[in-house]
Structure 1
Amino acid sequence: MTLEFKILDPKDIQLIVPLVYRLNNKSIPETILKLRFNEMIHQNYECAVVYADGKLIGVCGLWFCTRHYSGKSVEPDHVFIDEDFRGKQIGKQFFKWIESYVKSKGYETMELNTYVNNPQSHKFYFNEGYAILGYHFLKKL
């Protein structure tokens, strides 16, 4: 299997919608996801993707900012690897590639959120050297 890691051209952002739709257990309609991603590409956002033998199998949004406590920081978001490709160390390789990419852009830290009901992701991030810093709170307006 040949893997390709790259930053998705913003004009191709709609390619990731089916994967993110599955990530959210189909709870956010694809029409809404399409609208949101069309907005996101005009913010401090890039999208990293993984192809296996030419098939899109993984996605990771990247939010870039500077934070007072961590400096130049990137937040991986909506990380998803197709179920058929899990357990093959692709996520590990993907994050290694992402870390190299963001370091080359001068970023110092990576921080992320993961759903509390996703213990598999917690194990993955602990194994990748992440530590719990705090809680993420959300209030819908």
Structure 2
Amino acid sequence: MSSVTIKSLITQDEWREAYPVMKHLRTHLEEKEFLELVEQAQEKDHYQLAALCSDGKMVAVIGYMPMITLYNGKFIWVCDLVTKPEVRSQGYGEQLLSYVEQWAKEHGYGKISLSSGIQRLDAHRFYEDKMDYRKVSYVFLKDL
């Protein structure tokens, strides 16, 4: 039976350890840019990273941040959620998302929101069928 732990990642060394996992989701980021973006996001937007370790090995990572908007009020935005491909479908994503849901409740946040690429049908089934999230909008993006 494997030992599973979830820990908040707060140091640059911990972020560096998370990079190989995050690279599966954010394939466009090199390590240096990843570390710079995490640092800026933590300083400016209170971005948080947490990792799930199985038998001492980091296998899944989640990034999230508290926000306030007129649409959602006070809520948590899940920016990133990724599990290493070779260990997917073992409940790690569910555990990390549940961890963030618990964190949100403990800190007075009533909602969690996220976006998922339109091509990620397996992820959509996970969010809707397993985690009880609803599709409520489209996200639009324009490069400037």
- Alignment TM-score > 0.5, same fold: yes
1:64 aligns with 66
1:130 aligns with 133
Return the letter of the residue paired with 1:93: Q
CA contact (8 A) 1:8 1:47 kept: yes
Q: Distance in 1 between matches of 2:142 and 2:115?
A: 15
User: Where do residues 73-88 of structure 1 align in structure 2 (5 Å cutoff)?
Assistant: 73-88=75-90
Return the letter of the residue paired with 2:133: Y
CA contact (8 A) 2:116 2:123 kept: yes
- Decide which moves more: 37-46 or 74-83: 37-46
> How many angstroms does 1:93 deviate by?
2.0
Which structure 1 residue ranges, 4+ long, deviate > 4 Å from structure 2? none
> How many angstroms does 1:132 deviate by?
1.2
> How many angstroms does 1:34 deviate by?
2.5
Q: Count matched residues.
A: 140
CA contact (8 A) 2:16 2:31 kept: no
> 1:117 is paired with a residue of what secondary structure?
coil
1:37 aligns with 38
For structure 1, which runs of at least 5 residues remain unmatched after alignment?
none
> 2:53 is paired with a residue of what secondary structure?
strand
User: Where do residues 1-141 of structure 1 align in structure 2 (5 Å cutoff)?
Assistant: 1-11=2-12, 12-24=14-26, 26-43=27-44, 44-127=46-129, 128-141=131-144
Return the letter of the residue paired with 2:112: M
Assess, with a 3 A threshold, how the Cα gap between structure 1 residues 10 and 41 changes in structure 2: closer, same or farther. farther
> How many angstroms does 1:27 deviate by?
2.8
